Structure 1
Amino acid sequence: MFKRLLLGAALSICATAQASEKTFEIVYQGAYSPDFEVFLPDWKLTVEVTVNDLNNDGSYSQGELSRLKVDELEYRGSCSAVDCVENFNWTAGSLPAFTATYRRQTYWGGDLMYEQRNTLVAGVDYHLYAWSYTSGIQSDFTWQWTDATTTTVTDISPVPEPAQYGMFAAGIAGIAALARRRRA
């Protein structure tokens, strides 16, 4: 009886197990600036991505992306008026492919005062556009990926606390004690 109960508990734990979220830091280093016609080796763009492989197929799709953060853009699973990820696809062993946009408009007294748009097409380019309607000053910069651009992907997911394993062990011990008590 004890073995059956223990096996049943183990099977129920396995059945309810889910893939866990993973967070990655993606750093793009070096880009070509068509605005200044020069390669900038020190240029760096850091993207933080949180994904969950819900179907356990080893790749991540748009529906498995729960967070993407880069500069002002912070996408949290669905597009808003400010942040949006139009597409996302990432297979293990490759680099993620996605298009993300950030758009913010600032109003004062009902008048549009400032607008900013950032667009990131991973592996292609990063574009920043800002316009002040009051001063007429505009900024329009593009950084493009080249063969010299390096990309590093680091898993920065939190490691489970030892207390979680202790709680799991205590639960199994409790089930075992209950089974032993019922058998006696």
Structure 2
Amino acid sequence: MIKKMVCGAVLAAMGSLAQAAAPALTEWEFTWKGFYVFPGGGSGWDDPELTFTGRFAGTDGNSDGILALGELTSLTFEHDDYNYAACPPATATDECNLASFSYSEASGLELKASNVWYSAAPGSEAWWVGESTSYDTSYGIEQVDFGYQMPGEYYTRTFTDYTVKTVTQISPVPEPATYAMLGAGLLLLGAARKSRQKK
């Protein structure tokens, strides 16, 4: 009986290790703090306290330590309704795009994403308006308001020397060896206890 319990414990441990060895979905939050703000049509200013946040999630399928564009499942920015990892097909009035994405602890977060929205398809009616937003980890954030007979009005938040960029993992990291050994140990304890009770 004990032999069966031991075999069961070993098999359980091996199963736990195999299951936990599979790449897991992980989520991160990123923060950019400190920008040079330029509202367009006026003077810009430094704002070291201005903060912008976003989140992304994915699975490092090839376990190379890099979350690539094809491994991304979600990418969102504050005050923005799009999931840039799953942009819907573009329409005449709405479009989002994720041109590039990469994250690793060694190289940090790199991405280029954008969206554009129109109140109506340009040319379909008078006095339409639109807005575009772009995010670029090498530059910052740019928003443009435009429309029929309306020059573009820019609002940019540009990275500076004092910009602090942080990425924090917010989902738990599984520790397969620990969990497998714990399960095996509990099974072995149970087997030993039953053996003592029979004696």
- What interval of TM-score do these two structures reach, taking the shorter chain for normalisation? 0.7 to 0.9
Contact 2:116 2:132 in 1 (8 A): yes
CA distance in 2, matches of 1:30, 1:94: 20
In structure 2, what is the equivalent of residue 63 of structure 1? Answer: 70
Query: Which is richer in strand?
Result: 1
- Fraction of identical pairs, as percent: 22
**Does residue 7 of structure 1 match 2:14?**
no
What are the superposed Cα offsets for residues 17-73 of structure 1, whole Å, 9 maximum, x if unpaired? 322222221111111235423222232211111122222222211112111111325
Whether 1:33 aligns to 2:37 is yes
Consecutive unaligned residues of structure 2, counting only runs of 5 or more, are 195-199
SS in 2 for 1:32: strand
Q: Kindly provide the amino acid, as one letter, of the partner of residue 31 in structure 1.
A: F
What SS does the aligned partner of 1:16 have?
Answer: helix
Given the alignment, which residue of 75, 80, 86 partners 2:83?
75
Counterpart contact for 2:84–2:98, Cα < 8 Å: no
2:171 matched to which residue of 1?
A: 157
**Cα distance in 1 between the residues matched to 2:44 and 2:118:** 30
Q: What is the alpha-carbon distance in structure 2 between the residues aligned to residue 76 and residue 128 of structure 1?
A: 16
Q: In structure 2, what is the Cα distance between the partners aligned to 1:137 and 1:157?
A: 44
Query: Over aligned residue pairs, what C-alpha RMSD do you find?
Result: 3.2
Say whether residues 1:95 and 2:108 are aligned partners.
yes
Deviations 1:123-149 (A, max 9, x none): 32211012243x837431222111111
Distance in 2 between the 1:141 and 1:74 partners? 20
1:82-141 per-position Cα deviation (integer Å, ceiling 9, x unaligned)? 322111111214420010111222228x537221111111132211012243x8374312
Q: CA deviation at 1:76?
A: 5.1
Stretches (4+) displaced over 4 A: none
